[in-house]
């Protein structure tokens, strides 16, 4: 997985939402879950195999 931060929000509320979304995705990865916004779904099977996840 490659995590890339994108700063498109220039308000405090926008930055907070972006941070929460990024943290949710990082926590999903830490749990072994597929993140909600995968750019390359074809990579999921290989990622699961490398982690030893079968589901």
- In tens digits, the chain (55 residues) has pLDDT values of 666 666 565 778 888 988 999 999 999 988 989 988 889 999 999 988 988 866 5
Cα-based distances in Å from 49 to 6, 34, 54: 28, 13, 7
Q: Smallest Cα–Cα separation from 26: which of 46, 11, 4, 41?
A: 4
pLDDT on residue 53: 66
User: pTM value?
Assistant: 0.63
Query: What number of H helices and E strands is found in the chain?
Result: 2, 0
């Amino acid at each position: 997985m490659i995590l890339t931060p994108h700063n498109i929000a220039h308000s405090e509320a926008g930055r907070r939402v972006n941070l929460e979304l990024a943290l949710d995705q990082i926590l999903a990865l830490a749990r072994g879950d597929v993140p909600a916004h995968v750019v390359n779904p074809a990579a999921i099977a290989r990622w699961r195999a490398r982690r030893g996840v079968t589901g």
